[in-house]
Amino acid sequence: MRFNTNVQNICKLQSFTIKLDITTMQKLFLLLILVTFFSCEKNNTDDFLPTTSVDVTLNLNLPQYQDLLIPTGWVYIEKGANKGLQGILIQNTGLTPKYKAFERACPNNDCNSPMTFDGSLKMKCSCDQSEYSIIDGAPQTSGNSHFAREYRVLVLNSSTINITNY
């Protein structure tokens, strides 16, 4: 009888330990998710710019887009239906990802002129001279917290790319 009581006590203790371990694991998992969620940094991406539909497919064999076949080559896509608010700047980075595409509208203010690019590492807003990195759209001008809007570039084949925002 005493043996049975000891076995029952041990089983209860193990059951309590297992429940405690599961509860502890759940709490640790929840803590991990919360830490991950709150540690995410939000880029202040294009807060000023309205949403627009972008969907452009380019044949890089056409003369107007052949600069994109050369590393560091770039082209402007003029604004129009599904071509951004002020048009799009596309550059062949020569790296991975091979192509980067950015909205030419200045994200920091209401500017009617598109951003310019001279082949360097920065795009420039012609209204307030604020600059943005061509690598990730990060603001390069002190006091500016808005990022340039970057579009997704899909390489469909060796001579065709698609620029989209969805």
Examine residue 97 and say whether the peptide bond preceding it is cis (omega within 30 degrees of 0): yes
| Amino acid (1-letter code) at residue 30 | L
Q: How far is 17 from 94, CA to CA, in rounded Å?
A: 57
- Claim to verify: residue 18 and residue 62 sit in the same structural domain: no
- CA angle 158/73/84 to nearest 5° reads 85
| pLDDT at residue 166, rounded to an integer | 82
CATH number for the domain including 152?
A: 2.102.10.10
- Claim to verify: residue 24 and residue 75 sit in the same structural domain: no
In a domain, 9, yes or no: yes
Range of the domain at 23: 1-40
In a domain, 6, yes or no: yes
| pLDDT at residue 46, rounded to an integer | 47
- Claim to verify: residue 26 and residue 74 sit in the same structural domain: no
- Claim to verify: residue 32 and residue 67 sit in the same structural domain: no
pLDDT digit string (tens) for the chain, length 166 residues: 555 555 565 555 555 555 656 677 677 666 666 656 555 555 555 467 888 999 999 999 999 999 999 999 999 999 989 999 999 999 999 998 999 999 999 998 878 889 999 888 899 998 889 999 999 999 999 988 899 999 999 999 999 999 999 8
- Claim to verify: residue 35 and residue 64 sit in the same structural domain: no
In a domain, 45, yes or no: no
- Claim to verify: residue 23 and residue 97 sit in the same structural domain: no
- Claim to verify: residue 69 and residue 20 sit in the same structural domain: no
Q: Specify the pTM.
A: 0.71
Q: How far is 49 from 39, CA to CA, in rounded Å?
A: 26
Strand 88-92's sheet: what is its strand order? 55-59, 160-164, 150-157, 99-103, 88-92, 74-77
- Claim to verify: residue 134 and residue 104 sit in the same structural domain: yes
In a domain, 130, yes or no: yes
CB 161 within 8 A of CB 66: no
Length of the chain: 166
In a domain, 147, yes or no: yes
| pLDDT at residue 38, rounded to an integer | 58
In a domain, 46, yes or no: no
- Claim to verify: residue 69 and residue 27 sit in the same structural domain: no
SS3 label, residue 119: coil
How many independent structural domains does the chain possess?
Answer: 2
Q: How far is 80 from 87, CA to CA, in rounded Å?
A: 7
- Claim to verify: residue 33 and residue 95 sit in the same structural domain: no
**Which residues fall within 8 angstroms of residue 162, CB to CB, at 6 or more apart?**
55, 56, 57, 58, 153, 154, 156
